[in-house]
Structure 1
Amino acid sequence: MQHSVQLTYDQNHSLSWGKFVGSVLFAFFGAQIISGLFIGLPFMIYTAGLSDKKTIALYSSLGNTGGTLLQLLILLLFIFKYEPIKKLLLPVLNFQALQKVRTYIYLFLFFGLSIAIHIFIISKLFPHATQEQDLALNLENLNQYKILLILGSAIFVPIFEELIFRGIILQFFQQRFPFWIAAIGSSFIFGIAHIYSLGVMVGAFMMGMFMAVLCKKTNSIIPAMLFHMMNNTLAFLS
């Protein structure tokens, strides 16, 4: 007599809940801690002895951009060395989506809707959200070197965050829940990660929803990365 073995849902997937939580914690906090030790801390110690504000701003910008790049490199290494995460992400690291005209239609449509919601709703409900975020990110100093700010915060950060939120988190949730629950859950976590103020959190949640739908429509997280880059670039240049 043959006995069938009934597998649990986690056993049917290479990434269990425990591995998922551990992976997200390492990707987000582990990479930040390692980057802080090797780049953030040395720059902080060095600038502590400086008095010239322009020099401090330069080294702060270099440290911020270098630290963000190191975080991204650590995350990429982790993704391609840890097989369960690699299997989860490879299908949506789909550059072929960029060859389709409809990808750009969705991209600019959702981006336009996101801007409209920010201007007509979020900025009215939370008028001081932008200033609170700028203060939390120390943009008064970082804005003095726009190229470094754009490179770090409008290129490296979007790639880093999209690999985690629309990559690991959204894809894992989609394996276990209907899409809209996965989209809301991943966007909620994305909002919580932007805890600079309530207005910024609400704005990040809405942006996360648009990027989750963009991933669904294009079967790729690459357009979401472009959306995120466009959003951050516009924010830092305005």
Structure 2
Amino acid sequence: MEETIHNEEQRNTLKSHARLGWGGVIGFFLSYLGFVLVLGFIFGVIAVILDRGIEGYYTNLLMESHYTLIIDALGIVIAFILFKKVRSFLKSSFSLKPLKRGKTYLYLVLAFVINYVVQFLILNVLKWEKGGSQIDTFGLEGLSDHWFNLLLFYLAFTIITPIKEELMFRGIIHQFLDVKYHFVIGLIGSSLLFGILHPGHILSATIMGMIFVILYRLTHSLMVPIILHIIWNLYAISGMLAMLEII
């Protein structure tokens, strides 16, 4: 009963205090992409200057996946600062109450196990997707094992990216489609986009996105899928680095 009331209050808050339309959503994401391009250009120019006008250490460093993810995160932070309506839209999505309930951790364990089984079936049994393909996607073969580089790598992939993706896909896209149309449309739309933006693992990432949405639906807080996303990325990234014998 308490959760039903909380859910209704959350939806009413979204509808009455943050009337976010298609223009606001599209404008936010276009601005975010624009900021990323501008930041990438600025850092690129700095790298070229440091390399004295020719491709060298700093230029190659900037092209490594974890540095591009950090620049990407800076772009979305700027977009959030400028788009007050989007911030208001997400305001009611960060309740800490679910973290005080025992069943929340049961949901987390079940979600992790279900996601693991799905990934195992798709990658190892059915072989519909290739395990380890993201090693090539992220260009990890030449990753430096220097402690600071690995620290930034883990920070980018296991903290920054999960938070950013949950804000984007579950917080904005799913929630917007849910409030404006229907939960199922939000579930399918946000999960498909999440999958498409994970090349090499489109199917497994789409199902993972659905699991995150359902977890959000059950707990009414983005904090819970963020925690699961961090745990999963930590597991997946550590596995990839172990395959490369970097850790």
Matched, 1:175 2:182: no
Matched, 1:213 2:217: no
Specify every segment of 5 or more residues in structure 2 that has no aligned partner in the other structure, as ranges.
1-14, 240-247
Q: How far has the Cα of 1:139 moved from its partner? A: 1.1
Aligned equivalents of 1:147, 1:88: Cα separation in 2: 33
Name the SS for the 1:140 alignment partner: coil
Indicate the percent of aligned positions where both proteins have the same amino acid. 27
Matched, 1:191 2:198: no
Matched to 2:30, the amino acid is L
Aligned equivalents of 2:134, 2:39: Cα separation in 1: 22
Is the CA contact (8 Å cut-off) linking 1:158 and 1:225 kept in structure 2?
yes
Residue of structure 2 in register with 1:121 after alignment:
122
Residue of structure 2 in register with 1:137 after alignment:
138
Matched, 1:166 2:170: yes
Q: How far has the Cα of 1:169 moved from its partner? A: 0.4
Residue of structure 2 in register with 1:4 after alignment:
none
Aligned equivalents of 2:168, 2:179: Cα separation in 1: 16
Aligned equivalents of 2:144, 2:116: Cα separation in 1: 22
Aligned equivalents of 1:225, 1:109: Cα separation in 2: 15
Q: How far has the Cα of 1:77 moved from its partner? A: 3.8
Length-normalised TM-score, structure 1? 0.79
Give the number of equivalent residue pairs: 219
Q: How far has the Cα of 1:72 moved from its partner? A: 2.5
Q: How far has the Cα of 1:64 moved from its partner? A: 4.5
Aligned equivalents of 1:177, 1:135: Cα separation in 2: 38
Aligned equivalents of 2:207, 2:28: Cα separation in 1: 25
Length-normalised TM-score, structure 2? 0.77
Aligned equivalents of 1:70, 1:60: Cα separation in 2: 9
CA RMSD of aligned residues (A): 2.8
Once the two structures are superposed, residues 45-103 of structure 1 have per-residue CA deviations (whole angstroms, 9 ceiling, x without a partner) of 749224xxxx998x458x65454334324423432432221121111122333222222
Q: Using a 3 Å threshold, how does the CA distance of structure 1 residues 44 and 233 change in structure 2: closer, same or farther?
A: farther
Name the SS for the 1:116 alignment partner: helix
Q: How far has the Cα of 1:131 moved from its partner? A: 3.1
Q: What are the within-5 Å matches in structure 2 for residues 1-238 of structure 1?
A: 14-27=19-32, 29-39=33-43, 42-43=46-47, 46=51, 48-50=55-57, 59=61, 64-126=65-127, 129-142=130-143, 144=145, 145-194=149-198, 196-197=199-200, 200-238=201-239
